[in-house]
Amino acid sequence: MTDKYNEALGEQLKSNIWQRTQEAAANMSALDRAGLVADVAGIFDPTPVSDGAGLAIAIMQGDPLGAAMSLGSMVPMFNITSGMERAWIDMNKPKATATDIAKVEGALGIKLPQSYVDFVTRFGFVVFGRDDERRWLFSYVMDDGTQKEIRQRGISFLFNADKLLNIYRYMISTDDPDDETRPMLPPGYLTIGSDSGHGRILLEIEGTPGRIWFWPQSDWRWGTEDNTRLGFVAESFEDFINGLRPDPL
């Protein structure tokens, strides 16, 4: 087979089968779902044609688990550059385990978005901007009801499961009614990452779960002074990652 044929076959398999495999994985438990992604990512290399045959056979046989195993890293959800992946491999940050996913979901009574689970189990709780392009910039929209302002920021890193829960609980705490700084956030947003300062990347877990927002750092309690708005970033975690841009500076 020619290289062009192999590439075409790989692309066809990606476009036709990925959605069906995602649907199958969505019906798994949190432990099975996260464990499957982690196992596949650690076992298979990104070789679309060699894995494609097993993938097609599994789909035709109605075997979603076999299909997901064959798919593995062959069909990434994310537009990750080779430079980003090399930087993450060199840093060797921990990857989310099935226990990590279950801990967060159990503590908050939620189901984490599949794209977020796939990313942190495959790539880990990574640091951004260490690749040659420094691909870490994102845009967010601040809307005050009368006008919209587009701003730019960079994501520095993703919190691991324990830190994520600790920061979330701290920022939404209402234990001290005399505390003029907390809660810092409105209900329904999970702190999953940080910029290079104290700004937070937020995952919406109520309302429209899965959307990504940005909280600019503020010293005031939510709803007071300058802490009254969040910046909208993306409709999903996948869109957020795929929309990161290089830093020209």
Phi first, then psi: give them for residue 140, nearest 5 degrees. Answer: -140, 155
pLDDT, average across residues 78-85: 93
Residue 236 has pLDDT above 50, yes or no: yes
pLDDT, average across residues 214-223: 95
Q: What's the CATH class of domain 79-249?
A: alpha beta
pLDDT of residue 21: 57
Q: What is the pTM of this model?
A: 0.72
Residue 80 has pLDDT above 50, yes or no: yes
Residue 76 has pLDDT above 50, yes or no: no
pLDDT digits (tens, 9 = 90+) for 34-73: 555 555 544 444 444 434 545 554 555 565 555 554 554 4
Kindly report the average pLDDT of the chain as a whole number: 82
Contacts of 30 (CB under 8 A, 6+ apart): 98, 101, 102, 105, 111, 112, 117
Q: Between 171 and 8, name the one with better pLDDT.
A: 171
Please state the domain extents for the chain.
1-75, 79-249
pLDDT digits (tens, 9 = 90+) for 176-196: 888 989 999 999 999 999 999
Is residue 100 a contact partner of residue 141, using CB atoms and an 8 Å limit?
no
Tell me the three state secondary structure of residue 202. Answer: strand
Q: Which residues pair with 186 in a beta bridge?
A: none
Phi first, then psi: give them for residue 135, nearest 5 degrees. Answer: -80, 95
How far is Cα 86 from Cα 24, in angstroms, rounded to an integer?
30
Residue 6 has pLDDT above 50, yes or no: no
